[in-house]
Structure 1
């Protein structure tokens, strides 16, 4: 079922100009678009078909960042290529780094496997896999490690819908701070979007429930939040969190695991050659699922992209694991 986005507007338009907002990746763009509603449209940097791991800003995009009133992004842990562009903005220009924002639940890489057997009654991973919570919302912070390394903090936090709901409120508050006359509209839009995510979450919980105990292997270590939230069973990944090529030792280890027959499905990923997945599974009982798209690079950008992203992951996993 497709959700219709209902956008709220105030009876009297505010006199202040609506902020110019730039976002990094499609799911963040979708959340901001829902909060802004009819008041304005955020700009998306990572368009269709682009890869967040090796993206380079075009001059026009760098100019848009420099001229923006607000940049909403995951943070340098995911997109270090955006960090330098933020330096071109005026002193005090607003930036909201969602991974470091107050209330965000954060995981370390590999937490999906560590959390196996440690799910609470709602299917969420418990505190054992969590990274330390920030004490306050942080914006553009040069102190972060600009790597996207295995063993460090996993930046793919949008794949937990609980985080998305937290972020909607933070986005509304930041937009309202810059544009006080439209604060009520931003807050109402955020509340409506949060209700849609609650309904989406219930839908996906029901869809994934029958396959929770089926061991899965993904192309790279990007799904810990999704696996943990929905109580799925991760048997690991081919590549590390930065999607770099795995070494011979890792491939040999994974091949042995697949031959042992414990894994039900393995999933290739958009932006990556499926040949490696095919080679690894040849002669094994493991089924190859459809391509997963953790950042939504294959989706049409817009306010509905967040729901489409999560629904696509859930349906692709279910289609393979339920066979």
Structure 2
């Protein structure tokens, strides 16, 4: 987005998880030297709250506050129904960080476009001389993502009714953008073990609905999923919502979305 008019440093690598991340002194030095901090939401990146409070001159941009976002509430564990968590459009004037919105909002590429538009405006405020460049870069990004969404919708349409299970309920934005079936969910918090009741419920669901795929994330062990599917004909796929396997740079975000589609199709298309 900023081109050669600025530089961006990454605090949280894709191989880490915001659910258990701890800042290092080097991160504090990065923030002290920065003009702005861009994050999804303090509700997700709570590890930043204390340090940011000590930096009153740092401009903080919570992407969850971008007007026009399509947001969903957090869901329950177990077997979900298609109507679980109805969406609502974010109104900047009424944003409440205490609500239970699901904050994995970047996995809807339409939200990615909305957030990019918001960033172009923020950068133009910080650097008015670069406003035209930021707007040009945003328009290019919007065109790229719009084409990708259209292409992936067509590609995933044959698999819309395929049942599947996820370790961590991080994917409803992707699921609903591409009209996929609501999954079975093992846990909301990847740091907490699933209850025996949920495990049993999902094992019954897997057997009754011929579920062939369970998805985990590269940041977390597959042991819990392996115990869930023990003795069942289920493959484990990998969703990479943070781009742990991608190359950092301007292509990373579309690569994340593409990688999600690739992983889903490869797993559920198995005969």
* TM more than 0.5: yes
The answer to whether the 8 A contact 1:70-1:96 is kept is: yes
Question: Does the 8 A contact of 1:100 with 1:137 survive in 2?
Answer: no
Residue 130 of structure 1 corresponds to 87
Say which of 220, 223, 226 aligns to 1:278.
226
TM-score when scaled to structure 1?
0.77
Match of 2:147 in 1: 199
CA RMSD, 1 decimal:
2.4
Does the residue aligned with 2:167 lie in a helix, a strand or coil?
Answer: strand
1:270-311 deviation per Cα after TM superposition (whole angstroms, max 9, x unaligned):
1111122222212224x2142111122232211111011111
Instruction: Name structure 1 gaps, 5 residues minimum.
Output: 1-34, 119-124, 146-150
- Cα distance change of structure 1 residues 132 and 210 upon mapping to structure 2, 3 Å threshold: closer
Is residue 81–residue 182 contact of structure 2 (8 Å, CA) maintained in 1? no
Q: Report the alpha carbon displacement of residue 60 of structure 1 after superposing the two structures with TM.
A: 1.4
1:105 paired residue number:
70
Give the aligned partner of residue 59 of structure 2: 94
Judged with a 3 Å threshold, the aligned counterparts in structure 2 of structure 1 residues 144 and 238 are, in CA distance, closer, same or farther, namely: same
Deviations 1:70-99 (A, max 9, x none): 1111011211001222112134x3211111
Matched residue SS, 1:301 = coil
1:317 partnered with 2:259: no
Which structure 2 residue ranges, 5 or more long, are not aligned?
A: none
Q: Within 2, Cα distance between the matches of 1:115 and 1:38?
A: 47
- Aligned pair count reads 269
In structure 2, distance between residues paired with 1:207 and 1:115 = 23
Counterparts of 1:1-323 in structure 2, within 5 Å, are 35-91=1-57, 93-110=58-75, 116=82, 129-131=86-88, 133-136=90-93, 144-145=97-98, 152-285=100-233, 287-323=234-270
Contact 1:111 1:224 in 2 (8 A): no
User: How far apart in 2 are the matches of 1:172 and 1:180?
Assistant: 11
Q: Would the aligned equivalents of 1:261 and 1:284 in 2 still touch at CA under 8 Å?
A: no
